Structure 1
């Protein structure tokens, strides 16, 4: 598994929140096969609760990077104690794969992990959002990829 870094934002009490929105994003470098991902958990009132990043080496495609990002965000959400989340991504193909429970060969293990982790939540929804609605998570993912590239080069 990749390197995982989570940062809890201290001023909010997550136990007081009913539903959590999770914006996540991945960034993938096709020449180094490195991926960075980032996620931000927010309330329905747009208050930031928790954020994190992860990096992965030997990532074969952008779609695999997106799936690794979702898996990392789910693990972080469980660790933080969230029980109700909405995963929002700009990757329509991955939303379709997850919602259909179809497991393509190149994503089989990761998509099964996502399916299994999803069972740990009281409520979970995977939905598509345009990339411009996901700019904070996109910045985290690009920063994680940049740091991974400069640290390991």
Structure 2
């Protein structure tokens, strides 16, 4: 779940900063499979829709790839941080 939120925020960041060719990596095979095969993830339905919309138009090139968890420690920490921020926001709204 955290990976989906983090990926969405990373796409927003890339758009804001004018990047046009990006490669998004995640150690969540379920998330990458859902994105690349357009398979629904019910627990992330809204986020998946956001990811699809954000990745469809502004980029010349965008790819989504799975990588092993041991090669993704920094991104995993960032994803957990994003999830904590989202949960805190939801509690206080």
Q: Give, in angstroms, the shift of residue 67 of structure 1.
A: 1.0
Q: Which has the higher strand share?
A: 1
Q: Contact 2:27/2:67 (CA < 8 Å) preserved in 1?
A: yes
- From 35, 40, 53, the equivalent of 1:103 is 40
- From 70, 88, 93, the equivalent of 1:132 is 70
The higher-RCO structure (CA 8 Å, 6+ apart) is 2
What secondary structure, in the 3-state scheme, does the structure 2 residue paired with 1:126 have? Answer: strand
Q: CA RMSD in A?
A: 2.5
- TM-score if structure 1 supplies the norm length? 0.49
Aligned to 1:117: 54
- TM-score if structure 2 supplies the norm length? 0.77
- From 71, 74, 80, the equivalent of 2:8 is 71
CA distance in 1, matches of 2:80, 2:7: 15
Relative to structure 1, the CA distance from residue 123 to residue 134 in structure 2 (aligned partners, 3 Å threshold; closer, same or farther) is same
Q: Which has the higher helix share?
A: 2
Aligned residues: 87
What secondary structure, in the 3-state scheme, does the structure 1 residue paired with 2:62 have? Answer: strand
CA distance in 1, matches of 2:14, 2:45: 22
Q: Contact 1:103/1:112 (CA < 8 Å) preserved in 2?
A: no
Structure 2 residues without counterparts, runs of 5 or longer:
none
1:3-152 correspondence runs (5 A): 64-119=1-56, 120-142=58-80
Q: Contact 2:26/2:65 (CA < 8 Å) preserved in 1?
A: yes
Structure 1 residues without counterparts, runs of 5 or longer:
1-63
* C-alpha distance after superposition, 1:97-131 (max 9, x if no partner): 00111223322211111111111211110001111
